[in-house]
Structure 1
């Protein structure tokens, strides 16, 4: 993995199913699909310095309008002390 995303934190108990570096528009991103306590979801992880020109609301709207996001999917935004912003989407509770 490239150095920009080498230190992306993973919450305790979270299993990363798949991840891939990509571009989201013009922004470098780490795409992740993950599993945690019976929930599967996806995240776009951005380095804070790359999205300094976007508010959390604007970033969330961009992800909500993305073809990757399922219709009516809830999204959340979480900033870490490590310099990353996670936009989580496509939450699915496993039976």
Structure 2
């Protein structure tokens, strides 16, 4: 949506947020179930407050990447420098 509105890579732009919020309200008023995929926890809570009935608060690739980064951070300090040669 943000790209279509001219704000590529900026889904938190105020105009994009206004469109999303308006859509959630209108979808609820139409008797349908609004939902959204958003990685931002604060926005996810806001959408639930507005009446979204389902909110996906994470993307599988992002969740996997963050878990891998955390694991590397915990073990990275223990890594040793490898000397060149045959093992």
For normalisation by structure 1, the TM-score amounts to 0.22
Pair member with larger Rg: 2
For normalisation by structure 2, the TM-score amounts to 0.24
Greater fraction of residues in strand: 1
